[in-house]
């Protein structure tokens, strides 16, 4: 187990020279991992020597950036670099073992990247429209049934639907399922009384 760990910021233009120095100094590569952030992809390269782990972090890599491969120095990084290209859309140039986008056989391009601000804004607008439509439909249904006096009792459900429309679809489905289970349980309780 490593006795010490270091984390150092590294600029993209210093990646190859840093890797060359580590190779000359008999460090071995351990991993390279990517993390999707709002500013782009953060890449962390980890190297080990004796009881020390050294982590080099390149932050905010975008699809416009070209990342030079360092497989020629550390061949064991081939799965990590191919993964970065396939799952995160990182443009890695000069890989010794390049699977050309087929390391993972996936149907979605760059599935591990975060939403662009434009895509998030579009999704938020669609959620607001859906919430407004749900609220209007509930109001219209209430009027059609002549339940004007009951409308305030319906409002919490309309508010809930508006909140659910703006929520992650998977979470919203879970909340709806829980609410249905609660209603069913209350209905069963009411039938036993």
Contacts 24+ apart (CB under 8 A), 103-112: 103/79, 111/87, 112/34, 112/36, 112/87, 112/88
Distance CA 59, CA 41 (A): 6
Dihedral (Cα; 108, 110, 112, 113), 10-degree rounding: -130
Nearest residue to 107 via CA among 91, 87, 92, 85: 87
pTM summary value: 0.54
Per residue in 119-153, pLDDT (tens digit) is 667 667 777 888 788 778 777 777 777 654 444 44
Helix (H) or strand (E) holding 121: helix 117-144
pLDDT digits (tens, 9 = 90+) for 20-48: 999 999 999 999 999 888 888 899 999 99
**Chain centroid, CA 7 distance in Å:** 23
The tokens describing 164, both together, are: 């659910």
């Amino acid at each position: 187990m490593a006795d010490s760990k270091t984390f150092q910021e590294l600029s993209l233009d210093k990646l190859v020279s840093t890797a060359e120095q580590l190779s000359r100094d008999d460090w071995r590569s351990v991993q390279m991992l990517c993390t999707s952030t709002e500013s782009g992809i953060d890449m962390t390269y980890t190297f080990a020597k004796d009881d020390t782990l050294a982590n080099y972090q390149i932050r905010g890599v975008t699809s416009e950036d070209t990342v030079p491969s360092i497989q020629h120095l550390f061949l064991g990084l081939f799965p990590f670099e191919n993964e970065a290209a396939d799952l995160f859309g990182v443009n890695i140039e000069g890989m010794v073992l390049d699977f050309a986008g087929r390391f993972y056989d996936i149907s979605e391009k760059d599935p591990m990247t975060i939403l662009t601000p434009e895509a998030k804004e579009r999704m938020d607008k669609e959620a607001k429209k859906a919430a407004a439509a749900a609220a209007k439909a509930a109001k219209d249904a209430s009027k059609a049934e002549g339940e004007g006096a009951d409308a305030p009792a319906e409002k919490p459900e309309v508010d809930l639907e508006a909140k659910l429309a703006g929520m992650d679809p998977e979470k919203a489905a879970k909340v709806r399922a829980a609410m249905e289970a609660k209603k069913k349980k209350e209905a069963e309780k009411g039938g036993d009384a």
